């Protein structure tokens, strides 16, 4: 078993992490900011719940669904097919936009209708809420 598989010890049939490479290390912040504007929108309010994050671990980068991060922290995570498919779709979008290169196969994707993308210029009109905060300890 590789380090990658040991680190991403998620109990889900056929699970594998989604590794990406960056063209330039400076792109990390661009990807992180872009991901803050992609997720699931509230029907009633201008609220967007961020679906995915970029994780930098031991010199490697991964696009992760927030539930993968909960599982990595040892917390309860109800990780399902649609979470995995949404992660794959978002990673594919990042690749299509030239922000990342995907290492290996992407896997099954969700329809774009399940994802809301807020443009940078519309960002101030929305409340952007991450479901997970990387590197922040909750008290």
- The tens digit of pLDDT for each residue in 88-136 reads 999 999 999 999 999 999 989 999 999 999 999 999 999 999 988 776 5
C-alpha to C-alpha distance for 12 and 15, rounded to whole angstroms: 5
**Segment holding 95, helix H or strand E:** helix 81-96
C-alpha to C-alpha distance for 109 and 130, rounded to whole angstroms: 21
The domain segmentation of the chain, as residue ranges, is 17-130
Look at residue 7 in the predicted model and tell me its pLDDT.
62
- The tens digit of pLDDT for each residue in 31-54 reads 999 999 999 999 789 999 999 999
Strand partners, 134: none
Fold entry, domain 17-130: Alpha-Beta Plaits (3.30.70)
């Amino acid at each position: 078993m590789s380090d990658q598989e040991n680190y991403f010890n998620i109990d889900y049939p056929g699970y594998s992490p989604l590794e990406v490479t960056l063209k330039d290390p400076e792109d990390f912040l661009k990807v992180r900011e872009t991901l803050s504007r992609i997720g699931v929108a509230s029907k009633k309010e201008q609220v967007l719940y961020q679906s995915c994050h970029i994780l930098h671990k031991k010199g490697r980068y991964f696009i992760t669904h927030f539930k993968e991060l909960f599982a990595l922290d040892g917390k309860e995570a109800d990780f399902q097919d649609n979470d995995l498919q949404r992660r794959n779709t978002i990673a594919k979008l990042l690749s299509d936009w030239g922000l990342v290169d995907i290492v290996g196969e992407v896997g099954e994707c969700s329809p774009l209708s399940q994802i809301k993308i807020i443009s940078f210029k519309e960002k101030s009109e929305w409340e952007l809420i991450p479901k997970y905060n990387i590197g922040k300890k909750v008290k």
